[in-house]
Amino acid sequence: MAIQPIRLFGDPVLRQKAVPVVDFDKELRRLVQDLTDTMLAAPGAGLAAPQLGVGLRVFTWYVDGEVGHLVNPELGLSEEIQDGDEGCLSLPELSYDCRRAKLVVAHGFDQHGEPVVVEGSDLLARAIQHETDHLDGVLFIDRLDQAARKAAMKQIRESDWFGLERPTVKVSPHATRGLGL
């Protein structure tokens, strides 16, 4: 297992837009494995590469007993909306109702560069949208209404983890092309 430290709210990498994967190589497969191992150990319903400090468009999910990953996702969203509880591994112990599309069709690639289409509803749709947001530097608290966002920020400022020193990564085990720090 290769469990990695998860970057917390306040780390600049969480606000940067990740770049598309161009090399479907051993390093990408290791990144997918690290994402999966870290997500399952946390435990979480999803984890995006920027949460490990890697600025590439890759994420994993674990919903309803299914583990999956997607590289370079492009989403098609339904007009039908769902409201539901949402949290984030980069915002520990924080959970708020968040509005998302009820259905999603995600096009992308697997870790070997093969095209993949993932269709999901409810929790899977929520997880895919949440993780794709991470790839664009968007956190779920950005999608909350003003009152909920204000309450979330207050809860963050009062948390034990807020302001903790970010992990120091001297050398990333992944080919980040300078985007990992």
Question: Is position 27 annotated as part of the catalytic site?
Answer: no
Quick one: tokens of 30? 């290791």
173-177 long-range contacts (CB < 8 A, ≥24 apart) are 173/2, 173/27, 173/30, 173/34, 174/27, 174/28, 174/30, 174/31, 174/34, 174/54, 174/56, 175/23, 175/25, 175/27, 175/28, 176/54, 176/55, 176/56, 177/19
Q: Which of 114, 131, 158, 165 is catalytic?
A: 131
User: Which are the catalytic amino acids?
Assistant: 131
